[in-house]
Structure 1
Amino acid sequence: MRELRDIEGLHPRDLTKRQRLLVLFVVGLVSVVLFYTGIYNWGMRALENRPQSVFRSFQTVVETMTTTGYGADSPWATPAMNVLMVTIQVTGVVIGFVTLRVLVIPLFERTPLNLDDRLTTKNDHVVIAEYQRDTDLLLDELEELDIDYVLIESDDEEAKRLSDDGYQAINGDPEDRDDLERADIERASLLITDAADRTASIVLTALEANEELRVVSFTESTRREAALAEVGVDRSVAPHALIGQRLAEKATIPLSRDWSDEDEVDVSEILVRRDSPLHGVRVRDSPIANHPNLTLVAGWFHGELRLPPSPDDELAPDTVLVVAGPESELDEITNEIAGVRSRRIRSPSQIIVAGYGEGGTAAAEALPEDVSVTTIDESAELDPDIVGDVTEPETLREADTDDASALIVTVDDDSVALLTIAIARSLSSGIEILARVTDREKTKPAFRAGADYVLSTQQISARLVAAEVYGERVMAPTSQIRLIQADAAPFAGESLADARRNTERGWTVVGVERDGTVRTDERIIIEADDEVIVAGSDRAIQQFERTVATS
């Protein structure tokens, strides 16, 4: 039986109600058979005066309970033994009916099941009250992180499909307190809602059952945040707006230098493409991380900036690595690695935003004041700079794609987004194209169409939910990447490789300036009279200046 195999090696707490029922059934059946075997063996010896082995008695009991016959033991002379045999027969019939209902019918005739029976024991878990995006992606993310959850799905067929696929899902109305209690809402620690206009009703009902509940709500517009806060939502998330902000931050990675731009060290972004040999490679195994003259300063992974990346981070088609080193070395490694694209980090002067809805507005507002922004939308009511169809080359030419440093695509339709990307790439090979798609399956086509950076609403939303369980913020404002020159005395005697080894402090040593020349070879031994070039986030550089540079 599949369900019996599934429970092997599981802790009792991890068993579903149905699995626990099966365990009790098996244990009870074995106990009854052994009990009757002992009594029958004693009766054959003491009452029938026909002693026999316990195994012969066991066989007779099983034959009787399954109504397959009595073998050579019948008939029995004493009334007590006949009564015992009748009792065993009746017990066998009852167990047969129980077996039919508990095992045979559910497994082979696909009769309707109570999905609650498939839930494992819950405590301090997440209750998801509806989810309107890619449910499988969200639940896979939670299970990968070993996060306990229950999803309440109002569509019966969808709930059954998810439950049949092994997810912790039940059918019900999250506005109904009884259905929330079926999900053990009183013992939950977090409620995730994605139910549009029903959100307020769901939240108020859930908080009646559990006042300590933390609530995160998805919303299509940031304009509802204040109202949702009034009903008890701790955090409102507008995915389109958040992704718009992230795309704007990515398009304007801030970089400051505390020395002359004429120095040899440069900073570049290296984009990992779908067909790159780096796809699927961990940071520690990449030729960039292992290059003796280059330093991996930061990386964008699934829309999140990490300063610096973890050696265990896996490079995916949406990964962008920020690398510092000699300009010639940066160009050389970019040419050596197939399927990557490199661009120098420069201060952007003009950015185009295609699609001026919730996401486009958030992107435009997140851009620095010194950046010229041109917004495009076909709706004049949104008051864009250019009213027009973003899939028409003339519209993009009017926005001056030739001189723009980046194009942010935040249109609501994925098909329109892909066409816009393709047209923009045909008009300009140098412009950086950053796009938002709703369906995660459209991420790869967006890269093929010419996008440099793509974020999926479905994927980002799932990661956001997972992060909220740990109380972490995602989509936080981007820190500025800084490169400074500092006294090398604290590193005297160390090789450059040793100075770079600690990646957990948020800053790293890029190179050494000696006799007017910047050296980045990791075999260089740092001398007290040298100057070191250090890269990191604002906060990390401030920490470096307080603790290391002054030591």
Structure 2
Amino acid sequence: MPPHPNRRRQVVGHFKRSTKRLFILLLSLPLVILAGALLYMSGMSYLEHSPRDFWTSLEWAAETLTTTGYGSDSHWTHPAMILFVIFFELVGMSFYVLVFPVFFLPYFEERFEVRLPARLPAMAGRVLIHRYDPAVDSLVEELRRVGTAFVILEQDERQARRLRDRGYDVVFGTLDEQPGILAGVEAAQALITNADDHADATFIMMARERGYRGPILALAENPLHRQPMEKIGATAVFTPSHVLGAALASRASSRISPKVEGLQLLGERVGIADFRVQSSSPLAGKRLGDLRLRARYGATVIGQWIGGRFAPAEGPETSIEPGAILVVAGAHANLARVERLATPLRRHGPIVVAGHGIVGRKVVEMLRDAGETAIVIDIRPDAAVDVVGNVLEHATLDDAQVRKASAVVLALSNDSAGVFATAVVRDYAPEVPLIARVNLAPNVARLYQAGADFALSVGQVAGQILAHH
């Protein structure tokens, strides 16, 4: 059987990296020894007046580089000769410092590291995920939680190794160069493709060509590509970034959807919601036993986020902390009633949107379609940007009238920047509702700790969409 294309590419890559470096080392080492021997011969003849033949000089150079000693030939009197010997000793030590970490270790690591699988395993009962990023992170965790086996097809080698180290089943390869990589896909339980739109289309067509008849779910970047993808074989196509933008806009404006903040569906009628308890709320500082939320509103308090840590409700003596994020379960209408008690959001003034990327543009589009006044902040000048500046600077927040806003939406693409911007805006405008997006679901808790009233990740959105299909 001819070698697999992926394996051939790995071998070529190894030669271009570690083998080339090792070849340079093996070539340079004898040249350095030879140069040292010739210089030593000249120095001993003209400076020490004690000539050495070539072989003795060559032996000296080799002993210096290998630090094995000089034997009887270790007495020099001329300063220049002594400096040369010291210099060459340092050259020898530098070879030791460089040779092992730079040349030998990478060479042996690449030769003996575990090869990534280049073919799909038996796919019966498994879900195949094409390309991994934060958009499918929540889905992967949900699949692990319910015990559904899955395989990730990844074309980035570093990402593939990271996923393998996390214990995931990974196949490394590309569709363009390895058309046979999807052999056996027809037995899979479901397929999810999360690459760029062109690669998604290729994956869908190749899977259908191999006889796969099950569901194929695609996460697209451009909503205009939904219909074409469905025509070539996708069962359903979603745009998580746009759904995330719509969710953030609906939290900022009652005109779009005066829904419960942070709602997660458990069924058609029941859900879990999380919202911040303002200091002015009648819930703040009260005990659950005194509030009787279940009897009065049909809602059950599960717990609260305090300072970034979740504290489960332990009984009627549990007090609701001002500023905490309350987690409540119940019917959707009942949750809305509790939310009005917990977070009496202002419903007047402009809505400030910081960040004008894919998500930010969707937020602004929905807000303006609903008749809201949206003020856009972005660090890059653009015709659609109202205030050009850094959201971390008070001057920018002043120009955007953040203190007069009915809500602030942080649609920044970087999680670290989003968390810090949340803290800055919360300190600048403590009473303004603050809504933030994030890429990685684990950072949602950090946003709450920094002061966000509502936080949502693209992974949560994509995970909930895919889990319901």
Query: If the TM-score is normalised by the length of the shorter chain, which range does it land in?
Result: 0.5 to 0.7
- SS in structure 2 at match of 1:402: helix
TM-score (norm 2): 0.55
SS in 2 for 1:216: strand
2:201 is aligned with what amino acid? A
Structure 1 spans left out of the alignment, 5+ residues: 1-109, 257-268, 274-284, 302-315, 331-341, 472-551
Match of 2:457 in 1: 456
Amino acid at match of 1:429: P
* 2:406 is the alignment partner of 1:434: no
Alpha-carbon contact 2:131-2:194 (below 8 Å) kept:
yes
Provide the residue aligned with 2:275 in structure 1.
Answer: 271
Residue 286 (structure 1) shift: 9.4
Counterpart CA distance in 2 for 1:462 and 1:286 is 35
Normalising by structure 1, report the TM-score.
Answer: 0.48
Aligned to 1:371: 372
Q: Note if contact 1:192-1:216 (Cα within 8 Å) is conserved in structure 2.
A: yes
Q: Deviations over 1:325-345 (max 9, x none)?
A: 799xx5xxxxxxxxxxx3225
The aligned residue for residue 202 of structure 2 is: 201
Percentage of matched positions with identical amino acids:
24
- Cα distance in 2 for residues equivalent to 1:122 and 1:318: 42
Q: Distance in 2 between matches of 1:270 and 1:161?
A: 33
Counterpart of 1:82 in structure 2 is: none
Q: Distance in 1 between matches of 2:432 and 2:393?
A: 17
Q: Which residue of 1 aligns with 2:337?
A: 324
Cα displacement string for residues 246-283 of structure 1 (whole angstroms, at most 9, x for unaligned residues): 01112234459xxxxxxxxxxxx97258xxxxxxxxxx
The whole-number CA distance in structure 2 between the counterparts of 1:289 and 1:243 is 34
* 1:293 equivalent in alignment to 2:296: yes
**Residue 359 of structure 1, CA deviation:** 0.6
Aligned counterpart, 2:181: 179
Letter in 1 for 2:242: A
In structure 1, C-alpha distance between the alignment counterparts of 2:394 and 2:232, rounded to whole Å:
47
Call closer, same or farther: CA 1:382–1:240 in 2, change over 3 Å.
farther
C-alpha displacement of 1:364:
1.9
Work out the CA distance in 1 between the residues paired with 2:429 and 2:451: 10
- Does the Cα contact within 8 Å between 1:239 and 1:461 map onto a contact in 2? yes
SS in 1 for 2:124: coil
User: Structure 1: how far apart are the matches of 2:415 and 2:338?
Assistant: 37
What corresponds to 2:140 in structure 1?
139
Structure 2 alignment gaps of length 5 or more: 1-111, 260-272, 278-287, 305-323, 330-334
1:512 alignment partner in structure 2: none
Check conservation: 1:353, 1:410, Cα contact below 8 A. yes
User: Partner letter of residue 242 of structure 1?
Assistant: V
1:406 to partner: Cα distance: 0.7
AA in 2 matched with 1:293: R
CA deviation string 1:208-253 (max 9, x = no partner)? 1135243222233334435434543343333222111101112234
Tell me the alpha carbon deviations over residues 78-133 of structure 1, each in whole angstroms, 9 at most, x when there is no partner: xxxxxxxxxxxxxxxxxxxxxxxxxxxxxxxx9857858995x5435422112123
Q: How many residues in Structure 1 have an aligned counterpart in Structure 2?
A: 307
Shift of 1:193: 1.2
Which one-letter code corresponds to 2:299 in the other structure? L
Amino acid at match of 2:391: V
CA distance in structure 2 between the partners assigned to 1:287 and 1:200 by the alignment: 57
Q: 1:426 to 1:159 in 2, by over 3 A?
A: closer
Q: How far 1:139 moved relative to its partner?
A: 2.5
Bigger share in helix: 2
Shift of 1:323: 5.2
* RMSD after superposition: 4.0
The equivalent residue for 1:354 is 354
Q: 1:450 to 1:291 in 2, by over 3 A?
A: same
Q: Which amino acid is the alignment partner of residue 193 of structure 2?
A: T
Q: Partners of 1:288 and 1:383 in 2: how far apart?
A: 47
Secondary structure at the aligned position of 2:404 is classed as coil
The aligned residue for residue 420 of structure 2 is 419
Shift in alpha-carbon separation, 1:414–1:114, aligned structure 2, 3 A: closer
Equivalent residue for 1:312? Answer: none
Superposition pairs of residues 48-447 of structure 1, within 5 angstroms: 112=114, 115=117, 122-123=123-124, 125-133=126-134, 137-156=138-157, 158-159=159-160, 162-163=163-164, 165-175=166-176, 176-181=178-183, 184-196=184-196, 197-210=198-211, 212-253=213-254, 254=257, 271=275, 290-296=293-299, 319=327, 322=335, 324=337, 330=341, 342-344=342-344, 347-367=347-367, 369-381=370-382, 383-447=384-448
Instruction: Report the alpha carbon displacement of residue 461 of structure 1 after superposing the two structures with TM.
Output: 2.7
Larger mean CA deviation between 406-415 and 383-392 belongs to 383-392
Q: Encode CA deviations 1:149-200: one digit per residue, 9 max, x unaligned.
A: 322223456545545654333333345342212xx31123432112224222
CA deviation string 1:439-469 (max 9, x = no partner): 33432332222211111223333333333xx
- Alpha-carbon displacement from aligned partner over 1:333-364 (angstroms, at most 9, x marks no partner): xxxxxxxxx32256454211111221112112
Q: Which residue identity lines up with residue 374 of structure 1 in the other structure?
A: I
